[in-house]
C-alpha cells in the first residue's frame, strides 16, 4: 500500500513538471514574438493568411510627391492607406480631397507629428480627436485606423485610440524611405527581402519612394500578391 502512494505522488510530480515544460516551450515559441500575436487593438500586420499586403503612407510633408504617387496607384489600379496628420490635412485640403477622390483609405496620424508615448491619456485623446475632426471636415468620412508618428505609443495611446473607436496600426516592413541614404534600390530591397502574407509596408512621400514604387508593385504582382488597404488586410 505504501508503494502505491509513492507511485501516485511520483506520477503527480511528473505531470506537473510536464505541464511546466509545455508552458515554457509555448512561451519561448510565442512569448518573445509579441508582434506576431493577435491583439484586437494593435496591428503590426494584417490578420489574413493570404498573399495580400497593404501600403501605409504616413504624411506630414512631401506634398510635391503626392500627385506622382496617386498617378502610379491609378496606373497600377490599386488602393492604399494614407495616414495624414490633422495639421497637414488642414493645410492641404486639396491633396486630401484628391486622395479621397481616388478612393484610397484615409487613416489618422494624429494632429501633430509628436511622440505619443510621451503624452498622457487626455493629450493622446485630444490629438487623435483633433486630427479625426480635421479629416472629417474635409472628406465627410470617419477614419478607423490610427498610426502613431514614429510608431511611438504607450498604454494611454492604446486606451485613448480604443475609446475613440480606433484600431492602432503600425507596420511589419519599414522602407525607412525618409532617410537620406535610402535610395530607390535600397527601398526596393527592404520590401523584397522581407515580404510576407498580410504585410503592412510603411512608406512616405519621397522622391526615391516614387522611383521605387513601380518596381515594388510589379514585384508583388509577379509573386502573386494582391495589394490593398489596411482594412483589406485586417478584415
Pair 197, 119 in one domain: yes
Q: Is residue 221 part of a domain?
A: yes
Q: Is residue 37 part of a domain?
A: no
The answer to whether the beta carbons of residues 203 and 177 sit under 8 Å apart is yes
- Is pLDDT above 90 for 88? yes
Pair 54, 138 in one domain: yes
Pair 48, 104 in one domain: yes
- Where residue 112 sits, what CATH number does that domain have? 3.20.20.370
Lowest mean pLDDT among 19-23, 63-67, 194-198: 19-23
- Is pLDDT above 70 for 6? no
Radius of gyration of the chain (CA): 22
Q: Is residue 138 part of a domain?
A: yes
112-118: long-range contacts at Cβ-Cβ below 8 A with a sequence spacing of 24 or more?
A: 112/85, 112/86, 112/87, 113/60, 113/85, 113/87, 113/149, 114/149, 115/149, 115/150, 115/152, 116/148, 116/149, 116/152, 116/153, 116/154, 116/157, 117/148, 117/152, 117/153, 117/154, 117/157, 118/152, 118/154
Pair 125, 94 in one domain: yes
Pair 28, 46 in one domain: no
Pair 78, 153 in one domain: yes
pLDDT in tens, 126-176: 999 999 999 999 999 999 999 999 999 999 999 999 999 999 999 999 999
Pair 70, 21 in one domain: no
Q: Is residue 71 part of a domain?
A: yes
Whole-prediction pTM? 0.83
Q: Is residue 52 part of a domain?
A: yes
Q: Is residue 196 part of a domain?
A: yes
Pair 57, 172 in one domain: yes
Pair 6, 48 in one domain: no
Q: Is residue 123 part of a domain?
A: yes
Pair 48, 15 in one domain: no
Domain count, the chain: 2
**235 pLDDT tier (thresholds 50, 70, 90):** confident
User: Which pLDDT score is estimated for 96?
Assistant: 98
Pair 26, 101 in one domain: no
The answer to whether the beta carbons of residues 46 and 200 sit under 8 Å apart is yes
User: Which pLDDT score is estimated for 19?
Assistant: 62
The range of the structural domain enclosing residue 158 comes to 42-234
Q: Cell 510627391, residue?
A: 65
Pair 106, 12 in one domain: no
pLDDT in tens, 180-231: 999 999 999 999 999 999 999 999 999 999 999 999 999 999 999 999 999 9
Amino acid at each position: 500500500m505504501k508503494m502505491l502512494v509513492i507511485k501516485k505522488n511520483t506520477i503527480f510530480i511528473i505531470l506537473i513538471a510536464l505541464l511546466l515544460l509545455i508552458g515554457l516551450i509555448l512561451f519561448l515559441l510565442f512569448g518573445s514574438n509579441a508582434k506576431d500575436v493577435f491583439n484586437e487593438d494593435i496591428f503590426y500586420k494584417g490578420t489574413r493568411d493570404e498573399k495580400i499586403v497593404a501600403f501605409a503612407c504616413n504624411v506630414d510633408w512631401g506634398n510635391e510627391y503626392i500627385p506622382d504617387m496617386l498617378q502610379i496607384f491609378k496606373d497600377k489600379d490599386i488602393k492604399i492607406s494614407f495616414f495624414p496628420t490633422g495639421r497637414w490635412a488642414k493645410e492641404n485640403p486639396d491633396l486630401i480631397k484628391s486622395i479621397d477622390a481616388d478612393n484610397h483609405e484615409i487613416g489618422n496620424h494624429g494632429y501633430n507629428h509628436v511622440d505619443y508615448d510621451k503624452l498622457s491619456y487626455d493629450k493622446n485623446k485630444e490629438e487623435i480627436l483633433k486630427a479625426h475632426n480635421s479629416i472629417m471636415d474635409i472628406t465627410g468620412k470617419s477614419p478607423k485606423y490610427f498610426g502613431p508618428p514614429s510608431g511611438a505609443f504607450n498604454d494611454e495611446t492604446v486606451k485613448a485610440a480604443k475609446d475613440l473607436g480606433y484600431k492602432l496600426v503600425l507596420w511589419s516592413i519599414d522602407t525607412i524611405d525618409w532617410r537620406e541614404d535610402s535610395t530607390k534600390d535600397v527601398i526596393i530591397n527592404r520590401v523584397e527581402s522581407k515580404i510576407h502574407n498580410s504585410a503592412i509596408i510603411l512608406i512616405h512621400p519621397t522622391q526615391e519612394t516614387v522611383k521605387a514604387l513601380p518596381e515594388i508593385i510589379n514585384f508583388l504582382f509577379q509573386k502573386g500578391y494582391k495589394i490593398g488597404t489596411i482594412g483589406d488586410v485586417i478584415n
